[in-house]
Structure 1
Amino acid sequence: MAKLYFRYSAMNAGKSTAMLQVAHNYEEQGQKVRLFTAAIDHRYGAGKVTSRLGPQRDAEVFDAHYDFLQASERVNCILLDEAQFLSAAQVKQLHQLAQVHGIPVICYGLRSDFLGEPFPGSAYLLALADDIEELKNICACGKKATMNIRMDSQGKRVTAGEQVDIGGNERYQHVCGRCFYTA
């Protein structure tokens, strides 16, 4: 039975790396996968799924208007990076692809933003996913990192602003809950 999976973590836990490995595993068995990433995230170029370790692959992009039900033709699995940027309707479409069309859908993304607020896509994935898995990362203090904080260009923590501000290690740090509240 196909499922909708949500694999989440704080930043830098290897979500994109894991997704690229899953794609490789399917393809090694002669199966067809479709990779998606958010159009809004173009840090490594438009339509690129890139691991900080180096591996990169082209992917289709989704924006707020993309209809995932059109993605169901002759595919064995759908893999989606930056799933926090999905809309509620898109998460429901992905759930429908798994439940009605029998296509496994594996989504990778952040659970919450730099203020500890849920992303809409993540909130709906937590509600609808048939299988939820946390990928682990470590805070600088040694505890499990579960949160993200945003930094400005001087390295000071940002505590207000738009929910979405695309960036990598230069803008964000992954931290544990204690460091999130005391940093």
Structure 2
Amino acid sequence: MVNLLAQLYFEYGAMGSGKSIEILKVAHNYESQGKHVLLLTPLINDRDGVGMIASRIGLKRPARVIEPQANLYDMIQEELTERELTAVLVDEAQFLKKEQVDQLTLVVDRLDLPVMTFGLKQDAFNELFEGAKRLIEMADKLVEMKTICSFCGRKATTQLRFANGQPQYEGEQIQIGGDDTYKPVCRYHWYHPDLTMLEKQGDA
């Protein structure tokens, strides 16, 4: 019998949109019904420690680490030999490799298991992450998680990186950081950040 819920989901949003809160909430909801989920997070996601999913409001829990060259289909299939799973939940999915996203489609299609991924769509320079790009191409369902711009209150569509109070428009794509490094912003304020307001926020 086909599991109609077995789809590949990608929930994306700018930093501060509550992605980590959402994945922890989904895990809790399944587990409160006596169901088992597999929580995964990429090795590079070490802001709060390797193998830890943590929200900005303090909620956190451990997850199984995804190594850069890991085959996710094999990993999840092996997990299924040890215990029953209702869903696979992947945090910071933008850091996945293209091949790993394709492996998650096989988990859905061959193992009949829902896979829910959460992450950023684009980096601080408005370029798609590899994993996010492939998820947009392959996911059955895309869900935008919303938050507001740090400067004007409109919907934030991306995030801007700061260093020493100055916006950064070039550099390494991946730089793990928190609220002191990144600000969710609308498109206008990505180009025109209000540095005076930022200074006032820092002094508050």
SS of 1:100's equivalent in the other structure is: helix
Unaligned runs of at least 5 residues, structure 1: none
Quote the residue 1:86 is aligned against. 96
- 1:148 and 2:156 aligned: no
Q: Work out the CA distance in 1 between the residues paired with 2:55 and 2:125.
A: 24
Quote the residue 2:63 is aligned against. 59
**Which letter does structure 2 place at the counterpart of 1:142?**
G
Quote the residue 2:187 is aligned against. 177
Quote the residue 1:71 is aligned against. 76
Q: Work out the CA distance in 1 between the residues paired with 2:128 and 2:153.
A: 24
Q: Work out the CA distance in 2 between the residues paired with 1:141 and 1:99.
A: 43
Kindly indicate whether the alpha-carbon contact (under 8 Å) linking 2:7 and 2:140 is maintained by their aligned counterparts in 1: yes
Superposition map of 1:1-183 within 5 A: 1=4, 2-69=6-73, 70-72=75-77, 73=80, 74-139=84-149, 140-152=151-163, 154-183=164-193
What is the alpha-carbon root mean square deviation over aligned residues?
0.8
**Which letter does structure 2 place at the counterpart of 1:56?**
K
Kindly indicate whether the alpha-carbon contact (under 8 Å) linking 2:42 and 2:68 is maintained by their aligned counterparts in 1: no
Q: Work out the CA distance in 1 between the residues paired with 2:165 and 2:23.
A: 30
Kindly indicate whether the alpha-carbon contact (under 8 Å) linking 2:95 and 2:130 is maintained by their aligned counterparts in 1: yes
Q: Work out the CA distance in 2 between the residues paired with 1:96 and 1:29.
A: 26
Aligned positions, number: 182
Q: Work out the CA distance in 2 between the residues paired with 1:35 and 1:61.
A: 9
- Percent identity among equivalent residues? 41
Max Rg structure: 2
TM-score normalised according to structure 1 size: 0.97
TM-score normalised according to structure 2 size: 0.87
Unaligned runs of at least 5 residues, structure 2: 194-204
Q: Work out the CA distance in 2 between the residues paired with 1:101 and 1:126.
A: 21
Q: 1 or 2, which has the higher helix percentage?
A: 2
Q: Work out the CA distance in 2 between the residues paired with 1:63 and 1:155.
A: 33
SS of 1:96's equivalent in the other structure is: helix
Question: Deviation at 1:38?
Answer: 1.4
SS of 2:124's equivalent in the other structure is: coil
